[in-house]
Amino acid sequence: MLRWLLLSTLLCHASCDTKSKAEPYAELTLQEEGRKALDAEDYAAAIVAYNKAIEADPTDYESYRFLAASYAGEAGFDLLDAVAGTLSPDKGGGKSNLLDTLGDFVPADPTDDQIEAMRLSKETLLRLPPEYRDKDNTDIESASSAAQQLEFYQAAYSVITINKFAKVDPTSGSLDPAQLETMTDEDVEAILGNLEELSETSSDGAVGEGVSEILAQVDAAPGGSRREKLIDYLANK
């Protein structure tokens, strides 16, 4: 009897669809609109909604974090993939270098729009008052998480910018030196300056340690200028 009751109930429920019938009648706040779009991976819509929310209330600091996540999504950087992927031996998890690890989770051939979106992602978090993105601030519940979020996005910005120039030569299997040579001083500053900024704000933790290690290796690379050192480091990595 139970089986019959269960089957008939589930059949009835399935036939009448479980989707909420209230959707057309509910008015959403800007934050809810943003969150709904973010969940649906409609990052452009999420960016619009959260920008409006911040415009309406510049002290809505939670929206800054969601806006940053929306920009990161627009840039093609999925933090969940990155975090979960580090458990996968054949993806980021098999690699010891932060650049290589994150490199698996940002677009390999990014467009300028994606790089700009990644920049806006970190810049959005940098607009938070410092105490709202301080890893050691226990008075504000979200401060520690916001600090970590900023670390990830800062690192991802450098990585996605590097990816623009790091093209593998199919014949040699290593990075194409000609592509690396197209890197301008401005690009180098965007990459290294950002990593230095990250290194200063994040002296401890996995990301901070990884960045410091990279900066030391770049500094130790042969070359007269920062550009030459970075190109040499990338070419021989």
Partner 1 sequence: MALGRFIKILPFVIIFLALGSQTSFAKRSSEQIYTEPFDLAAGGTTLTRASQEGIVFANPALLPLGAAWIRWVGLQTGFMIDRDLAESGQTSFKGVSGSEAEAEGEGEGNALVQELFSRSLHAGQTLTLGFLNKNFAFTVFDRIEVDVEGDRFGNGGLPAIRFSGEAYAGGLITYATQPVRWFSMGMTTKYLYMAEPDIFIPVTDEERIELLVSNPDNLLDELKFGTGVGVDVGTLLFWQNTFVDLSLGMKVEDLGGTQLSNGVDTIPQTLNAGLGLAFHGSTEVLHLSLDYRDIGGAYEEKTFKKVYAGARLMIRQVFGAAVGLYQGIPTVGVRVDLFLFKLGVTAYGRELGTYPGDRQRNMVMIYTSFGF
Read off the tokens for 67.
């806006």
Residues 193-222 that bind partner 1 (CB under 8 A): 205-206
Q: Phi/psi of residue 39, each to 5°?
A: -60, -35
**Is residue 151 exposed (0-12), middle (13-18) or buried (19+ Cβ within 10 Å)?**
buried
Taking CB under 8 A as the rule, does residue 16 contact partner 1?
yes
Binding pattern for the stretch 132-151 against partner 1, x by CB under 8 A and - elsewhere: ----------x-xxx-xx--
Per rule CB under 8 A, is residue 6 in the interface with partner 1?
Answer: yes
Query: Which residue type sits at 81?
Result: D
Q: How far apart are the first and last CA of the chain?
A: 68
> Which uninterrupted H or E stretch holds 74?
helix 61-75
Residue 42 or residue 187: which is nearer to partner 1 going by CB? 42
Contact criterion met (CB below 8 Å) for 75 and 110: yes
What span, in angstroms and rounded, lies between the C-alpha atoms of 58 and 75?
A: 24
For 36-50, b/e burial (b = at least 16 CB within 10 A) is ebbeeebbebbbbbb
The residues in 24-53 that bind partner 1, with binding defined as CB under 8 A, are 25-28, 32, 35-36, 38-39
Minimum distance, C-beta of residue 58 to partner 1, in the bound complex (Å)? 16
CB of 15 to partner 1, least distance (A): 9
Q: Which is nearer to partner 1, 85 or 188 (CB)?
A: 85
5 or 171, CB closer to partner 1?
Answer: 5
Report the residue from 45, 48, 79, 235 that binds partner 1 according to the rule CB under 8 A: 79
Among 218, 222, 170, which Cα is nearest to 191's? 218
The sign of the CA dihedral 133, 136, 142, 146 is: positive
Based on the shown chain and the rule CB under 8 A, indicate whether residue 123 belongs to the binding site for partner 1: no
Q: Which is nearer to partner 1, 135 or 227 (CB)?
A: 135
**Nearest residue (CB) to partner 1, 8 versus 236:** 8
Q: Does 59 bind partner 1 (CB under 8 A)?
A: no
| Residue 96 binds to partner 1 (criterion: CB under 8 A) | no
Which CB sits closer to partner 1, 28 or 56? 28
- Which positions ≥6 away from 46 have C-beta within 8 Å? 34, 35, 37, 38, 66, 67, 70, 73
**Token pair 């098999």: residue:** 94
Of these, 68, 156, 166, 198, which contacts partner 1 (CB under 8 A)? Answer: 68
Q: Which residues bind partner 1 (CB under 8 A)?
A: 1-2, 5-6, 8-10, 12-13, 16-23, 25-28, 32, 35-36, 38-39, 62, 65-66, 68-70, 72, 79-80, 83-89, 93, 142, 144-146, 148-149, 152, 205-206
